[in-house]
Amino acid sequence: MSDIRGLADRLESIVEELDEIAFDRLRLAAAEGQRTRPDDDRELTKARRAVEKAVAVLRGIDGSDDSEP
């Protein structure tokens, strides 16, 4: 496994962690009766997208881009 592929794999794990954090916060907000998204939900979503973009770039460099057109 190349260094770039390994880095992309680790970043994919971070995407999953960001998802878990976001979902946990949404569940907590719902349990507390909030009817709107938590304040930091948009920021977590932006961070997730940024990491996903980094994964795509790294996969492209490594030649292991598994994304669909």
CB atoms within 10 A of CB 11: 19
Q: How far apart are CA 63 and CA 20, in angstroms?
A: 28
Confidence of residue 68 (pLDDT cuts 50, 70, 90): very low
Helices (H) and strands (E) counted in the chain, each on its own, are: 2, 0
For residue 18, give both structure tokens.
């960001």
33 pLDDT exceeds 60? yes
Residues 34, 44: Cα–Cα separation, whole Å = 18
Instruction: Report whether pLDDT(1) > 60.
Output: no
pLDDT tens digits along 34-52? 999 888 999 999 999 999 9
